Structure 1
């Protein structure tokens, strides 16, 4: 039995210059229209949010119809989560998920003990009593990965259900989910967007390809004029020696803690549910886990190192 966990915002829904997360000290600010941000996003959410592509909504329904358990985990509070998801996914978004967890306070959700971070029920978006364990699906606040996994065992009837966690933050999502919970992790990496012209490989029929394969790439995200490539860096050599290319710290973390890395969920939404991805592994090429293609800078780097 497969369990699919999604971190909030993994579909790149916000196109503001920042992602505003609600932490405990901000509780109630949305309802009270505090500051500038909350009244503005309530007044005109379409100005700041992208609606989720229909292909992603269809993908979520397909997963659920196939018997997968879907979980949404966000560090935002429930009222803010509902506001955004109503616009992004539709007013029936909660029906897409078996479990919704708000105010998860990641990465603590994964690293803290159950006694440190119990689940709490919600009433009118206000947190209620702490729960000694999680007994049934529903909408909860705070919590911990241990009690969530115990519930998933009950729901699946499996002693070790397989969990695939999608997230766009190495710090809050990918590293803790892999390090503390040993879940499979899919990194949503926007630096892969527009990195190259995506072209279908001859080895597979076009109907098995994701939406982005075969489409012309957009301007580079992974190469900053100020900082250089997100994936590789150049180290000055000693006297009379050439500069050498090395993988960046961020690049090494991707292959260490991610099962695969994709530019967006939309990139895989039209693939068959049983599509076999090549994962990051010490037995594979360093670029093997990137889908649909590895970044250009990393491909060039690997070519040079293999010469």
Structure 2
């Protein structure tokens, strides 16, 4: 993506040492070369809502924050804490555009999607692993990775003993996306969008079960997006959850 002229940034509320540990394991020792800007200890959602003097950017020396905050963000690099206005100014300089467009991926409505949409005016992609527990198939890459895992004798003692995956549906609570309600005096159950599903449609541009689902698509691929003028099944990639498809059949 950098070769295509895109600016890549990583924003995490984790501290720099933990971020480095995880990223080196997942992306490799040279993971820093993948990003133009890395921001750790971002303290989201405050990163998006606070003004610069409340939470300035700070440089790091051996994973320790400098005590004095930066008056502005002048160049790419690895920083700690910070705020959206100063980042926005740097992105304007780097892209040469007065209003640079940002596609931001996150798995938290509270810390990622809501503040980035409302305060940053960014396009947001909500990563919703519960989609895989509601009929959406795993990506080919995920299936391939699972086939290359460690031998059975090296796996955790609970694996393969009937434990549910994190994305599996709940027998007690039902679908993450659709709730069944019986109105007072009415024997028939009615399907309603859950609060979580309503927030996804309202504050995110689109939803995916994992980044692996879109990793091999071309950069100019056009995705469906959520809109109040479109059906509630529009905006999910690669397809909507089963519960939403069934609900749409009864509308």
Q: Find the counterpart in structure 1 of residue 177 from structure 2.
A: 231
- Structure 2, gaps ≥5 residues long: 145-163
Q: Find the counterpart in structure 1 of residue 42 from structure 2.
A: 104
TM-score under structure 2 normalisation?
0.87
The answer to whether the 8 A contact 2:133-2:167 is kept is yes
Q: Find the counterpart in structure 2 of residue 78 from structure 1.
A: 16
Q: Find the counterpart in structure 2 of residue 115 from structure 1.
A: 53
Q: Does the alignment pair 1:127 with 2:73?
A: no
Q: 1:284 aligns with which of 189, 214, 230?
A: 230
Q: Find the counterpart in structure 2 of residue 5 from structure 1.
A: none
The answer to whether the 8 A contact 1:100-1:139 is kept is yes
Shift of residue 137 of structure 1? Answer: 0.2
Q: Find the counterpart in structure 1 of residue 200 from structure 2.
A: 254
The answer to whether the 8 A contact 1:259-1:280 is kept is yes
Q: Find the counterpart in structure 1 of residue 221 from structure 2.
A: 275
CA deviations on 1:131-177 (whole Å, 9 max, x unpaired) are 00000000000000110010000001100000010000001000000
CA deviations on 1:232-271 (whole Å, 9 max, x unpaired) are 1111133354111110000000000110000000000011
Query: Matches of residues 1-307 of structure 1 in structure 2 within 5 Å?
Result: 63-128=1-66, 129-196=68-135, 198=137, 211=140, 221=167, 223-305=169-251
Cα RMSD (Å): 2.1
Q: Counterparts of 1:143 and 1:230 in 2: how far apart (Å)?
A: 33
Shift of residue 195 of structure 1? Answer: 2.6
Q: Find the counterpart in structure 1 of residue 153 from structure 2.
A: none
Q: Find the counterpart in structure 2 of residue 25 from structure 1.
A: none
Shift of residue 222 of structure 1? Answer: 5.6
Shift of residue 226 of structure 1? Answer: 1.2
The answer to whether the 8 A contact 2:133-2:169 is kept is no
Aligned length: 231
